[in-house]
Structure formats: structure tokens, C-alpha cells
Structure 1
Amino acid sequence: MNPSSPNPEAASSPVVRLHDVHKSFGSLKVLQGVGFDVDRGQVTAIIGRSGSGKSTALRCIDRLERIDSGEIVVCGHRVDAPGIDLKALRLDVGIVFQSYNLFPHLTIEQNITLAPRSAKGLSRSEARSIALDVLAKVGLSDKASYYPEQLSGGQQQRVAIARSLAMQPKVMLFDEVTSALDPELTGEVLRVIEDLAAGGMTMVMVTHEMAFARKVADQIVFMHKGKVWERGGPEILSEPQTAELRQFVASDL
């Protein structure tokens, strides 16, 4: 069997598994033995100070960064395998960044239908039907014919989420998706993510929104100096076991 091919036995395994993952940029060690599992339907929030390795860990899950050693398995794909089928991996994994990355010259509908048509070979009508469905999920049914510049930052971020959903991924990754938004717009984006969680979507999100993490996450992963320092349910934010997490939580109050 190709080591990067989905394993039919993976249905009962964690959807995402990182084991002893190391990653350096030159002499800078960013990830030092990171490991955690994400089960099907589980929402995992990765928290920690800037420079703790949160976003790098997330990018490694989608093979946007190559790891130096360790193992990452996502939806049965061995992400660290030399022969990984990146197209197959990214059909299963959607990722949304802080920047919206929408094409300014395309309408919202065109932004959303582009990938389903090019990557999945869907017809224009099939892709349009999916686009309208995901726009309804993010509360933007009336914006299909608009251009990105006609939308607020919060609306553009919701379109970015809809664009990922249009590919019908098994896992959604969110990298600080509200950090560039003001509080009102942040709320509308977080409500969309909360609805996805309620619908059973498996998600891994890097976030600085501690109140949201407490409310929505099933698992909290606290990273510090490139390592998983503490991991558990939301209760670890109320009862930290280490001085580092206590200080981090206190700084957010």
C-alpha cells in the first residue's frame, strides 16, 4: 500500500494525529516533539503566546510546511510521507487564514465555485448550487453577485469559510481567522464557526479568543516554546497545572 494513501481502517482512528513532530527554520527550533490527536467531530483549539509554534503546527497538518521528523496522519493520509498525494489531502482538509485571500476581480459566487470546478470537475450548475448552499450556511445568501471590495472584513472572512466548505472537507483548519477584525465583525465570524461545531465538523483552530475556546472547544492544546505544555478539556483554562498556562490565562483576563 502507498504510505500516503487513505487507510480504510482509519475510520475508527483519530482524524488528525501528530506524533513527535519537529520543525526548524534554519537554527530556530519551532516545533520540538509536538503531539496530539483530534477525533472525528471534535473541536481542538491551539492556544499560546506568539512564537510558540501554533500556526506552524497547523500549517504542517495541511503540508504547507514540511516537518523535519515525526509523523502526521490526517484522514488516513500520511502527511509526512515522500509520496503524499497533496491534491487528495487538500480535498479532505480545508484551511482558512487570517487574510481572506479572495480574488478581487471575481464575484463571491465565482470565488467559491472556482475550486470545485477546477479540482473536482463539477459543472457550473453543480458548483453554483453548492456555492449558494454554503453562502446560506454563513449567512450571506444575498451576496453571491457582489465583489469582495463591496463586503466588510467580517463578511469576506465568512466567504473564505464558505469557499473552504464548498470543497466538502472532512477537517477544517482555522489560523487566527479573527485577529484582523474588530469585535463586532469577530462575533459574526465566530458564530459561523460555532454553527459548524454544532453540526459536527472536525476542526482545529489556532485562536487568541479564550472565551470562545472555552465555549466551543472539546480539547485545548496549550503550546509554549514549541512544545505541547498542557492538553485537555476547557477546564484546563480554569485549573492550569503549570505556571506557564496560569500566566497565559491571567494575561488574557
Structure 2
Amino acid sequence: MSQVASFIGAHPAPASIPSDEARHLPSTAAFQPIVRLNNVHKSFGSNHVLKGVSFEVTKGEMIAIIGASGSGKSTALRCINHLEVIDDGAIEVCGMQVGDPAIDIRRLRRDVGIVFQSYNLFPHLSVEENITLALRHVKQLGKQEARTIASEVLAKVGLSEKGQAYPEQLSGGQQQRVAIARSLAMSPKVMLFDEVTSALDPQLTGEVLRVMEDLAAGGMTMLLVTHEMAFAKRVADRIIFMHQGKVWEIGDGTMLDHPQTQELRAFLDNGL
């Protein structure tokens, strides 16, 4: 039995609930996966990067994906947002089949925000202009409405005073927080973070992680590729350990203290 199958199979079926009590429970729709990967494969030439990756994410979950470089973590995120096209398997996100040739890419990108290690801010635009650009040209919002949203999301990331600054005037941590604000402005249902702190020093890393922790506390559905083990253990609802293109082990934060596989134990012992 695979690691994933054994993890899923370890949970007993819930007991039946009397009908008069069932009315007071949340709808089961709230627990339906908002992201689902089923046996996903992806190769780049002869390099088979994803080798049958399967996992699900329910609305409001914060999932941390860990693993050594080359294990397929970032590729999995890029496939979820259709930045890479899968070779086999299926990905469903927010009710959309990502592999469908007829998929509405604009809708997918509105529903699924992604933030990268590199900030990808336009250097010739102010912080406010970086945030309002997509609002005005993709969502077709008026200038004032877009500026109001920019002000709101900058407040969320603690940069209310930086709207008229330019990227070169900001620290790396501030630029990354602007990148997060830009994604938040589109009101995504899911946010993907691809090693967003790996280029930052410890102090700036702390700034960005605090913003992400606030988003998780607010119920944002998030998938985070990270090497920040302490953060993953403290904040993530579940942690996915990937190894050699496969989901190797899944669990809550305690799995980092009690790894079930030799591969995860070696990864943690190496301090990666």
C-alpha cells in the first residue's frame, strides 16, 4: 500500500448522525475538495518530474509542500495554475478541469493566484499601479474602484503607506508583500506560493510569513512550497512531503517530529 493510501485508509468512517442533529451540521459541500490532483504526470523531455501525483485540498486549508530540490514541488504548483500542461492524469480546481483544452484560462487565473520567488513587479509602475493594472484591464474596473481595492490589500499586507513608492524603493520583503497584495486584489479562491521567501534574509522572511499566516487565519485556501519547516509545522493544516516526483508522506505538523519513512527522516536530518 502506498504512503498516501495508508494515510487515507487510517481514518475510520464517521458514525451515523441522527437526522435531527444533521440539520445543525455544516453542509458537506463545505468539505468538498477545491483542488484535486489525480495521478498527474509531467515530463520535460526525458526528465519525468511528476510521477502519478495525487492529493486533494479542501476550502480553507493551508497545505505546505516540502521536499528536496527536483522533487516536483514547484512543477505541481505550476500545473495547478496551467502554467505547465500535464501529460497525463487530471487536475480539477474551483470546479474547472485544468486539462480541458476549452478551459477559460482567464477565469482560472482570476480564481487561482500565484506568487513566485521573484516578485515580477513592473519597475516603471508605482506599487498602486502594479496592483491596479490587472484590476482595470482584466476585471475592467474603474480607476477609483481599482484604487480602493489596492488600498485595502496594501493594508492587509502592512504597506498602506507605500502605494506611491516604486519597487526599487522597497526592500525585498516589501516587494514580496506587494506581489502578495497584487494577487489578493483579484479576490482569488486559492493562492499558490512558490518558495516566496527563499531569496530573503531571516528578518524579511519573517515579514512575509506573518502576512501568509494572517491569510491562513482568515480562511484563504493556500498551497505553499517552502523550506521553512518551523512555519509549516506551526501553520499548515497538512504537510505533503514529495520525493522523486511522488507524494511520499502526508500528515499534520507532527509528521516532522515523527517521520514514517526513511526518506523524510533523511530530508529533515539534512536540514533542508
TM exceeding 0.5: yes
Structure-2 residue corresponding to 1:176: 195
Amino acid in the other structure paired with 1:117: R
Say whether residues 1:110 and 2:129 are aligned partners.
yes
Corresponding residue for 1:210? 229
1:130 matched to 2:110: no
Task: Indicate the SS of the match to 2:138.
Answer: helix
* Cα distance per residue 1:17-44 (max 9 Å; x no partner): 0010000001110000001001100000
Q: What is the alpha-carbon distance in structure 2 between the residues aligned to residue 48 and residue 10 of structure 1?
A: 31
Matched residues in 2 for 1:152 and 1:164: separation?
19
Residue 238 of structure 1 and its aligned partner are, at CA, apart by 1.1
Shift of 1:189: 0.3
Q: Which runs of 5+ in 1 are unaligned?
A: 1-8
2:113 to 94, 105, 110: 94
Instruction: Evaluate the alpha carbon distance shift between residue 239 and residue 12 of structure 1 in structure 2; reply closer, same or farther with a 3 A threshold.
Output: closer
Q: Which has the larger radius of gyration?
A: 2
1: CA distance, partners of 2:179 / 2:211: 11
Does 1:195 pair with 2:177?
Answer: no
Calculate the aligned-residue CA RMSD, in Å: 1.2
Secondary structure of the residue aligned to 2:193 is: strand
Question: Shift of the alpha carbon at 1:13?
Answer: 2.0
Q: What amino acid sits opposite 2:252 in the alignment?
A: G
Partners in 1 of 2:210 and 2:133 — Cα distance?
Answer: 25
Which of 25, 33, 39 matches 2:58?
39
How many equivalent pairs are there?
A: 245
Aligned to 1:21: 40
| Whole-Å separation in 1 of the counterparts to 2:194 and 2:31 | 27
The reply to whether residue 245 of structure 1 matches residue 264 of structure 2 is yes
1:180 aligned counterpart, secondary structure: coil
CA distance in 2, matches of 1:12, 1:36: 14
TM-score by length of 2: 0.88
Counterpart AA for 1:62: N
Instruction: Provide Cα deviations, 1:60-106, integer angstroms capped at 9, x if missing partner.
Output: 00000000000100011100111111001111000000000000000
> How far apart, CA to CA, are the structure 2 residues paired with 1:10 and 1:69?
28
- The 1-side partners of 2:164 and 2:101 are apart by 42
Instruction: Name the % identity.
Output: 71
Q: In the alignment, is residue 119 of structure 1 matched against residue 138 of structure 2?
A: yes
- Alpha-carbon displacement from aligned partner over 1:187-220 (angstroms, at most 9, x marks no partner): 0000000000000000001000000000110010
1:214-250 residue CA offsets vs partner (Å, 9 max, x unmatched): 0110010000000000011111111111000011112
Which letter maps to 1:245?
A: L
What TM-score, normalized to structure 1? 0.95
Q: Mark the runs of 5 or more structure 2 residues left unpaired by the alignment.
A: 1-27
Q: What letter matches 1:145 in structure 2? A: Q
**Runs of at least 4 residues of structure 1 off by over 4 A?**
9-12
